[in-house]
Every structure is written in structure tokens, then in C-alpha cells.
Amino acid sequence: MGKRYEEPFRQLVSDLGASDLIAFITPGGVDKRYQEHILDTLEELGVAIAMEAREANFTISGYTVRPHDDAVGLMIETEQLGTVHLFADGAKVPMRV
């Protein structure tokens, strides 16, 4: 995870109740150079890490692009908010279906 994403990511995890989260990163969904940093950040915040998607209530699925400015963000599936697109500027775009 790039430095620009760290604070918005930490804030989202905290807002959702870090100690209540069980996180999973979809294989191949996130560049390997960022995956370790994301896992370290989650563990630092007290988030449990799942070995399988079905155990998780917070899944990092991959990347997303914001249409109006081509900003790249993380696509995160949560039980509380549904799918959220999180961008470096802190924008959280819930994508309820």
C-alpha cells in the first residue's frame, strides 16, 4: 500500500471496528509489494487475518479506478458497508447493489 493510502485505510479499518474485523486479501488482487504492507497494517490495528475468504468479514478484492479523474483505489468488501472503493484522498465510495 502506498503511503498516500495508509491514513485513509487506517481510518476505514478503525471506523469499522478493527478488533471485530477478519480480513482476507484476494489472491492476485493486490500487487505483492503492497500486500505485505497491508497485512502489517491490519495486524498493527488488531485485525485478524483469514486464510480463506469465507472466514472474512473484510475482503480486499483488488483495485478500482474512479471514472472522473482515473484515480486508483482499493476495492474492499465489508459486511457493514457492502463494497467500498477507497482512494488516497480519503474518498470512500460505497457501492451498494
Q: Are 23 and 49 in contact (CB under 8 A)?
A: yes
Instruction: For 13-57, write each residue's pLDDT tens digit.
Output: 999 999 999 999 999 999 888 899 999 999 999 999 999 999 999
Grid cell, residue 29, equals 488482487
Beta strands 22-25 and 48-49 are: parallel
Q: Residue 12: its pLDDT value, please?
A: 94
More confident residue, 60 or 94: 60
Task: Evaluate if residue 68 carries a pLDDT over 90.
Answer: no
Q: Residue 95: its pLDDT value, please?
A: 65
